[in-house]
Amino acid sequence: MTGGVCIMEEAQQKAVPPSVLASQALQQLRQPSCILVNLDAVRHNVRVLKGLAGSNTGIMGVVKGSAYGSGLLPVVEVLLEEGVQELSVATVGEGIHLRRQNVQVPITVLGNLLQFEVEDVLKHNLIPTISWASPLTAEPTDSLKYPDGSRLRVAINIDTGMSRYGVQPQDLPALVTTLDNLNVTIASMYTHFQAAINEPEKNKKQLDMFLEATEPYKLRPLTRHVAATTGCVQGIGTNLDFIRPGGAITGLSSGSDEESAGLFAKCGFRPALSVVARPTFFKQLPPGRGIGYDATYQTTTDEWIANLTTGWSDGFSRRLSNTGAVKRVKTGELCPIVGRVSMDSITIRLPEAPAEDDVFQVISDDFDENTSAVGLARILEAAVYEMPGNWSTRLSRVYIKNGSIAKVYHSLDYTC
Ligand SMILES: Cc1ncc(COP(=O)(O)O)c(C=O)c1O
Paired with 307 in beta bridges are 281, 347
Q: What is the pLDDT of residue 73?
A: 97
Q: What is the pLDDT of residue 4?
A: 33
Paired with 128 in beta bridges are 109
Give the mutation target among 230, 244, 249 for probing the ligand 1 site: most ligand atoms within 8 A of CB: 244
**Cβ(354) – ligand 1 distance below 6 Å:** no
| CA-245 nearest atom, ligand 1 | 11
Q: Please report the sign of the dihedral spanned by the C-alpha atoms of residue 210, residue 211, residue 212, residue 214.
A: positive
**Cβ(245) – ligand 1 distance below 6 Å:** yes
Q: What is the pLDDT of residue 327?
A: 97
Neighbours of 141 (CB within 10 A): 13
Q: What is the total residue count of the chain?
A: 416
Q: pLDDT digit string (tens) for 81-118?
A: 999 999 999 999 999 999 999 999 999 999 999 999 99
**DSSP 3-state assignment of 331?**
coil
Using pLDDT thresholds of 50, 70 and 90, give the confidence band for residue 405. very high
Question: How many angstroms separate the alpha carbon of residue 62 from the centre of ligand 1?
Answer: 7
Q: Residue 238: which residues within 8 A CB-CB, separation 6 or more?
A: 52, 53, 54, 57, 227, 231, 232
Q: pLDDT digit string (tens) for 189-202?
A: 999 999 999 999 99
Q: What is the pLDDT of residue 12?
A: 47
Question: How many angstroms separate the alpha carbon of residue 160 from the centre of ligand 1?
Answer: 15
Question: How many angstroms separate the alpha carbon of residue 362 from the centre of ligand 1?
Answer: 26
Q: pLDDT digit string (tens) for 223-240?
A: 999 999 999 999 999 999
Question: How many angstroms separate the alpha carbon of residue 229 from the centre of ligand 1?
Answer: 7
Q: What is the pLDDT of residue 416?
A: 62
Question: How many angstroms separate the alpha carbon of residue 316 from the centre of ligand 1?
Answer: 24
| CA-247 nearest atom, ligand 1 | 9
The mean per-residue pLDDT over the stretch 311-334 comes to 96
pTM confidence score: 0.95
**Cβ(110) – ligand 1 distance below 6 Å:** yes
**Cβ(196) – ligand 1 distance below 6 Å:** no
Residue 343 assigned as binding residue: yes
The mean per-residue pLDDT over the stretch 53-77 comes to 97
Question: How many angstroms separate the alpha carbon of residue 380 from the centre of ligand 1?
Answer: 21
Q: pLDDT digit string (tens) for 111-162?
A: 999 999 999 999 999 999 999 999 999 888 889 999 999 999 999 999 999 9
| CA-62 nearest atom, ligand 1 | 6
**Cβ(128) – ligand 1 distance below 6 Å:** no
Q: Strand 334-336 vs strand 325-328: parallel, antiparallel, or unpaired?
A: antiparallel
Question: How many angstroms separate the alpha carbon of residue 254 from the centre of ligand 1?
Answer: 9
Res 9 pLDDT > 60: no
Which DSSP string do the residues of 195-231 spell out, in sequence order?
S-TT-HHHHHHHHHHHHHHHGGGTTSS-EEE---HHH
**Cβ(228) – ligand 1 distance below 6 Å:** yes
Give the mutation target among 42, 62, 158, 210 for probing the ligand 1 site: most ligand atoms within 8 A of CB: 62
Question: How many angstroms separate the alpha carbon of residue 201 from the centre of ligand 1?
Answer: 19
Query: What integer best gives the mean pLDDT of the chain?
Result: 94
The mean per-residue pLDDT over the stretch 288-316 comes to 97
Q: What is the pLDDT of residue 268?
A: 98
**Cβ(247) – ligand 1 distance below 6 Å:** yes
CA angle 335, 40, 403 (to 5 degrees): 80
**Cβ(225) – ligand 1 distance below 6 Å:** no
Using pLDDT thresholds of 50, 70 and 90, give the confidence band for residue 19. confident
Using pLDDT thresholds of 50, 70 and 90, give the confidence band for residue 15. low
Neighbours of 357 (CB within 10 A): 14
**319/386 Cα distance (integer angstroms):** 14
| CA-229 nearest atom, ligand 1 | 11
Residue 340 assigned as binding residue: no
Using pLDDT thresholds of 50, 70 and 90, give the confidence band for residue 13. very low
For ligand 1, atom 8: residue with the closest CA? 246
**DSSP 3-state assignment of 240?**
coil
Neighbours of 167 (CB within 10 A): 21
What percentage of the chain carries pLDDT values higher than 70?
96
Q: What is the pLDDT of residue 25?
A: 92
Using pLDDT thresholds of 50, 70 and 90, give the confidence band for residue 260. very high
**Cβ(166) – ligand 1 distance below 6 Å:** no
94: amino acid identity, one letter? E
For ligand 1, atom 13: residue with the closest CA? 246
Q: What is the pLDDT of residue 11?
A: 45
